[in-house]
Structure 1
Amino acid sequence: MALHAVDDIDDAIDATKSFLFPFEKGIWLRMAFVVFFIGGGGVGLNNVQSFSNFGDFGGNGGPSGPSSPGSDFQLTAPLETALSLPGDLAMQVSEPGVPSGVPDELLAGAGILVFAVLGLFVLLALAYGILSNFMEFVLTQALIDREIHVRRYFNEHVGDGIRLLLFRLVLGIIWLGIALVIGAAGFFLVLGGEAANVGASSVLALSGLFIAVFAVLAISYGIVFGFTTVFVVPLMAADNDGVLAGWSRLWGSITSQPKQYLAYLFFSIVLQIGVGIVSAILGIIAFIVVLIPFGLVAAALYLALHNTVGVVLAGVVGLLGLLVLLVIGALIQVPLTTFLRYYAMLVLGDIDADMDPIPEVRSDIRAE
């Protein structure tokens, strides 16, 4: 039996060439925009911990004056003497607790600024993660139609994006719940539910078992997540299936031809490693190419002006360089991501013609 995962590598390259070449600036830029949000098939958001206790922002309200009880200030000489010696220090701090240095208001403002930056980061990360679900369908529809219309495809698949988002959230919750149940079972069954039994020896004895269990959970989660992205999403885009309906069809195909899907799983990992190496090499080259001109201009501005304006202008040039680097990085990912997605859809259609999301692309490249 021929392995479609092997035979379809060349076809995926041909499909990528037929879509992206000859080079058209508009197609590449729109594809780069979409691929930027996908980032290889989704985004994982790390837990963001809150930070607090930036300092005592309340203060004591300042000293109450020299005549007040418990005043922090004491006159070291009669008032007349103090007034007659304006050049000398007539007042001294009798206790070290007097507020000094940075004002409380400034510290409070700094704390608010830090919280605002952290909040903005969390919001951007959430927006990125949510949009990635919708961009999956924009990319898939573009590969099916061999043209890219971001706004139109986005509007057409709003419902699909919401369903995919909910499915991924539920999937993550289920796997996290399983991991917690396994951890709790180990704690109560093996350690007797006693915190006193948790020690270096018990942790060392159980570490191999827990690593194996959680490795299985991580791998199984990755397979389900990945198959949803590369197989179920095309079924949803091409045949208007829901997530569960798409998985129902895919599962029937997997159980009937497990060898083909195992072969795809193996070769897709190999190809992703190769694509990752190519991406890293091109990214390093792009970084060097961008760093040299923008770095020289920023340094020249700072050295020439050597003031606040120079620092601001150097920072602006640095931000422009970062933006250029992000655009170049996304452009590098366009053909690589296109190749991997075409490869998956070609394999899917060869395994089961009824689930082929790109019959026209397949027939055109093979006719050539």
Structure 2
Amino acid sequence: MAWYALRAASESAAATRRLLAGSTLATWGRLAVLVLFVGGLTTPFLIDFNRGSAVLDAAGGIESVPTTAAIAATGVAIGLGVLFVGSVLEFVFLDALRGEPVRFAADGRQWWRAGVQLFGFRLAVLVCLSLIGSAALRTGRPRPLVLVPLALVAVVLAVLDRLTVAFVVPIMFVDGRSLSAGWRAFLPTLRNEWHQYVAYLLVAGALGGLIALAGGLLAALVAVAFALPFSAFGAAVGTALIERGLSTTTVGRVVAGVLAVPYLASVLGTVLLVHVAPVAYLRYIELFVLGDTVGRYDPIPQVRAAIRRR
């Protein structure tokens, strides 16, 4: 019996090369923006409101309540915004993987309703996971009879989220279905080909872990590489300002504040550009597996045909 995930792991490398070969810097930049929101490099904020009093106490008591509340509200707003934009861009990214040009405005208008449905589903999953985490923290001492069921529920929710994004979203994309209709269309295939999807989860989990580890090490190297010239430039500017009689403390704060934004932007931009290929590779694995198990919902038939003609 052929294991589609293993075959997809090989074919996805060729599909990724086909996607990116000859791409302009502008195309890489647009794909990097998509990766920022759909590639797992950003994590929506999970706020444990049940521990709010402990956070406030640690922050300095009742006087800090307004500040802490503002920070929490800002974090929640940013997290929800990232989650919503990422949900819409999941569909835009699928279009890009088919070889279509990335058009944020036009594609966003086309897919925002589907994105709202995906956003609601993922928000519900995140809330459930947050509640599970809160329940686990409240148990105090390790209690296997409580923690094991909570961990199993958390794993089921995580798998449900992964299957939704990896396979139900492409069905919504191909057939114009709602999220619930997409799941109804996917369930018969999931029941009949469950072993193929278990294999996918194992293969994608292993590859994703290796890529995440390599990506983390690369990000650290990029951060160090950019730190050297920025530090040298900051030291030169700081020395010149101090020689003019300015306070060392003031100069240090000003120079650090001015250089922080371009430094972080340079590091993040470089890391995102490098992550375009591995994120596209992992997504192609999902699409190849879906097309092999249920051909009518194949979102990349032309890519598949081009790869397999070789």
TM-score scaled by structure 2?
A: 0.85
> RMSD of the TM alignment (CA)?
2.9
Q: What CA distance in whole angstroms lies between the structure 2 residues aligned with 1:38 and 1:223?
A: 17
Q: How far has the Cα of 1:313 moved from its partner?
A: 3.2
**DSSP-derived class of the 1:44 partner:** coil
CA pair 343-111 structure 1, distance change in 2 beyond 3 A: same
Is 2:119 aligned against 1:165?
yes
The structure with the largest alpha-carbon Rg is 1
Q: What CA distance in whole angstroms lies between the structure 1 residues aligned with 2:125 and 2:39?
A: 19
Q: Map Cα deviations across residues 144-181 of structure 1 (whole Å, 9 max, x no partner).
A: 2443222221111010011111122334456677x59x
The aligned amino acid for 2:308 is R
Q: Map Cα deviations across residues 97-144 of structure 1 (whole Å, 9 max, x no partner).
A: xxxxxxxxxxxxx98777655544443222212211111111112112
Q: Map Cα deviations across residues 295-353 of structure 1 (whole Å, 9 max, x no partner).
A: 22122222331333563233211221111111112112211110000110001101111
**Size of the alignment, in residue pairs?**
296
The aligned amino acid for 1:226 is R
Q: 2:188 corresponds to which residue? A: 252
CA pair 42-356 structure 1, distance change in 2 beyond 3 A: farther
Q: 1:45 corresponds to which residue? A: 45
The aligned amino acid for 1:21 is A
Query: Counterparts of 1:166-245 in structure 2 under 5 Å?
Result: 166-172=120-126, 203=141, 207-245=143-181
CA pair 169-122 structure 1, distance change in 2 beyond 3 A: closer
More displaced stretch, 35-44 vs 207-216: 35-44
Q: How far has the Cα of 1:364 moved from its partner?
A: 1.2
Q: 2:79 corresponds to which residue? A: 125
TM-score scaled by structure 1?
A: 0.72
For the Cα contact (< 8 Å) 1:304–1:310, is it kept in 2?
no
For the Cα contact (< 8 Å) 1:42–1:132, is it kept in 2?
no
The aligned amino acid for 1:213 is P
Q: 2:282 corresponds to which residue? A: 340
The aligned amino acid for 2:216 is A
The aligned amino acid for 2:203 is F
CA pair 41-160 structure 1, distance change in 2 beyond 3 A: farther
**DSSP-derived class of the 1:233 partner:** helix
Is 2:84 aligned against 1:142?
no
Q: 1:87 corresponds to which residue? A: none
**DSSP-derived class of the 2:16 partner:** helix
Q: What CA distance in whole angstroms lies between the structure 1 residues aligned with 2:62 and 2:201?
A: 56
The aligned amino acid for 2:13 is I
Q: What CA distance in whole angstroms lies between the structure 2 residues aligned with 1:232 and 1:7?
A: 21
**DSSP-derived class of the 1:157 partner:** helix
